[in-house]
Amino acid sequence: MIIDGQAEFRTLLMHHVTTHWPEAIIRAYDPTSAGHLPAEFSGAGNDVILLGDQLGDRQGPDVLRQFSKVRGFPPVVYFGARDEESAAIRAGAAGFFLRDGLRHDGFIVRLSDILVQRRSVASTAALFVGDERTGIHPLIRGYNFIRKLSTSSHSAIYLAERVSNGQEVVLKVLRQVPDVIDSIGAFDRFLQEYELIAEIDHPNIVRIFDLGVGDDHAHIAMEYLGGGDLRQRIAAGLGEEEAIRFLRQIASALGEIHEVGILHRDLKPGNIMLRSDDSIALIDFGLAKRMRLQMEITDEGEIFGTPYYMSPEQGHGTGIDHRSDIYSLGVIFYEMLTGEKPFRADTAMGIIYKHAHASVPSLPSDLAQHEALLNKMLAKLPEDRLQSASEVEQWL
């Protein structure tokens, strides 16, 4: 969890973490707009708290002392000015870094040490499969465990076999900690993710087979996509025709979810999988939301997604609509054609700046026929872009 009053700094910390731990789930909190966390805040459900010194009318050491009084509170890493270091450590900080001039390697090494020390009590340590010989969570019936695919702070993902028909499925399981507000919010987001996908029947969107809910967990069973992800295919090299074919399929999937009022908001090659027949399937709607609903989990202006694929408006925390997904698709198309991302920088904030201000790089001469389409997808202003996913097909 990241707590700080400056959106740019929260984003910077988020991408320091996700660069090293791509599967990390991060919740950001702005005390200057959402109010100070109450004294009963326990930090439960978090493996570590990253606390900045921009806390409105409260001083960082005072907040640290509040946290330190709570039994079992997760370790807190503090970011402030040089003259705050000794006070922060005395107040209970597990680590201290200068807010200005944060270096990635030193930060990651220290954070890794903290997480290793905490491993015995961390939320990820208790997830579901303690003894892999015994199978998945004992309350989940009807599946045989094959192997664990990944684990995050609230959920675990397995390859499993349905006992009824022997079909291989991906089983995503969420652990709920009773009476913990953050856990309940994650539980609700997990169920919302299922509801969003389950409404859709489209050849380029992952198929959902089953939902199960228990007292302390929920699970989703979805199709197993054995062809790897688009990130791997891009790294191996794509031909022009293959890139166009994939673009059509992704655009078709986006058109379907936009039609029912869903934004994806985290469109990137790692969230686009391939089946064994080489067809595309869009996955991971964990950041999706209905355009017609208010944001229930985060404050207005929170930044999500991956900076390489963020639209200018998303990177700056302003309002977004379906045209933000169109921009992300344009970034992916450029990368499929060239094998390179259109905008790179040394920092996450540098990438976000380039999305908003830098010109789209020119394509090689043999691909120049696609520049008009790319420029329409990657326009800085939403009103200057293609206005729907169906227009991508029209341009092609």
HSE at residue 252, side-chain half, CA atoms within 13 A, is 15
- Nearest residue to 291 (alpha-carbon basis) of 328, 324, 251: 324
Scan for tokens 């010109």, then name that residue: 359
Question: What single letter denotes the amino acid at residue 67?
Answer: F
- Distance, C-alpha 149 to centroid of its chain: 17
Residues 6+ apart with CB under 8 A from 394: none
Quick one: tokens of 321?
């609509």
Q: Which residues face 282 on adjacent strands?
A: 205, 272
CA distance linking residue 19 with residue 105, whole number of Å: 11
Helix pair 7-20, 348-357: axis angle to 10 deg: 120
Single out the residue of 332, 325, 334, 327 nearest to residue 257, CA to CA. Answer: 325
What positions carry a catalytic annotation? 266
